[in-house]
Amino acid sequence: MTNDYTVQGFKAGAVVAGLKKNGALDLALIVSDRKAAVAGVFTTNKVRAAPVILSEKHVENGKARAIIANAGNANACTGDPGLNDARRTADLVSRELGINPEDVLVASTGVIGEYLDMDLIAGAIPGLTKALTPDAVPLAAQAIMTTDSFPKISSFVGRAGEHAYRIIGIAKGAGMIMPDMATMLCFILSDININSDDLKRALLSSVETTFNRISVDGDTSTNDTVLAMANGLAGNKDLHGEDYDIFAEGLRNVMWDLARMIVRDGEGATKLVSVEVKNAFSPSDALMAVKTVANSSLVKTALYGQDPNWGRIMAALGRAEIEMREDRVDIWIGDAQIVAGGLGMGAEAEKLAAEIMTLKEFSLTVDLHQGEYHERMFTCDLTHEYVTINADYRT
């Protein structure tokens, strides 16, 4: 039986290897029937997990056949033994599938500083390869979850000339989310015919405007990985011009959808908030301002408390090291303006804003009146539950 999350030429599978304490699916495999163009974007954290190091090297080849990902163990801060475990994981998959180890990409997520139980991995891979089926991408999305409360999956259907193609993306992430490319994994599959350079160009652009514009808690993980594979089975000719633009926009839409899901599923989160900074002096000022407000713990706790405490927003802007004048700043919660020219609009305006903040989704808008540059990020509130989840993460 097929579903809306199939891509021709790709199969997926998921099994319980025993890496998660709760006995849930924890090992996923995605395989292309033939070599696919591949591109990747990885964490900027200077502490880089073993699978990041290995996959970054394999992606340089521009082609790949498979992605294997485990949850429950990050295989980070594990030194040479961890890197050997990542290599062995790729080798085990390559032997089962009869492909080159360099064509296997590896990803991990979970607890940092613990070694992978390779006996569990080795024991599970034969059954994992036997479980491969075209309609199991949603199961793979489940298998890569850690503290996520739901699997994240999105799709796009487009045409290149006379040829229809599909883009499917799955992701995991709920905590350690502040990508400068969060803990997050994302795997994107397409049957479009595109070369690896153009795929990389589209992926880098999309990451910058989607995953690099979200925040849950301001932390960047050791394992952040976004991988895209395109096997060309749609049969279109070389992608260029309008066809490339449509593909790039479809890719961006899938990734925005997944990015919003990650923030909505932020650990303990009850609010999804779009933070927008308008009319900044420069592009860098716009980005710095929106990041500072979106990451402020005091702003995020006010969002949770449904308190339009605009002083916290002003304070965040004031330490953002941007061009600004306090007496020019306007602030809105939804369509309720609570600050004009740096001064509060009074109790009635704040009452209306507080009512808007009871919603699960709303916007926070700042107008700096300094220039013409805009930026937007999605953030969430900071709750008691976030502390509970992360205080007890290893226990």
Residue 183 assigned as binding residue: yes
Measured at the CA of 158, the angle between CA 154 and CA 159, to 5 degrees, comes to 160
CA-closest candidate to residue 61, choices 192, 183, 179, 196: 196
- Cα–Cα nearest to 188, from 142, 220, 141: 141
Catalytic (active site) residue 183: yes
166 vs 169: CA distance, rounded Å? 10
Task: Report DSSP state, residue 214.
Answer: B
Instruction: Give the three-class secondary structure for 47.
Output: coil
Residue 172 annotated in ligand binding: yes
Distance of CA 18 to CAs 58, 130, 185, 366, Å? Answer: 27, 18, 20, 48
Catalytic residue among 129, 183, 225, 379: 183
236 is in an annotated binding site: no
CA distance 299 to 390: 20
Instruction: Give me the amino acid identity at 35.
Output: K
CB 362 within 8 A of CB 333: yes
DSSP conformation letters of 296-362:
-HHHHHHHHTT---HHHHHHHHHTS-----GGG-EEEETTEEEEETTEE--HHHHHHHHHHTTSSEE
Concatenated DSSP letters of 112-156: TT----HHHHHHHHHHHHHT-BTT-HHHHHHHT-SS-SS-EEEEE
Token pair for residue 208?
Answer: 């910058």
Q: How far is CA 334 from CA 9, 330, 344, in A?
A: 45, 13, 16
- Six token digits for residue 321: 């090291």
**Token pair of 98 as six digits:** 């009869």
- Binding residues are 146, 172, 183, 267, 390, 395
Residues annotated catalytic, as ranges: 183
- Binding residues for substrate are 146, 172, 183, 267, 390, 395
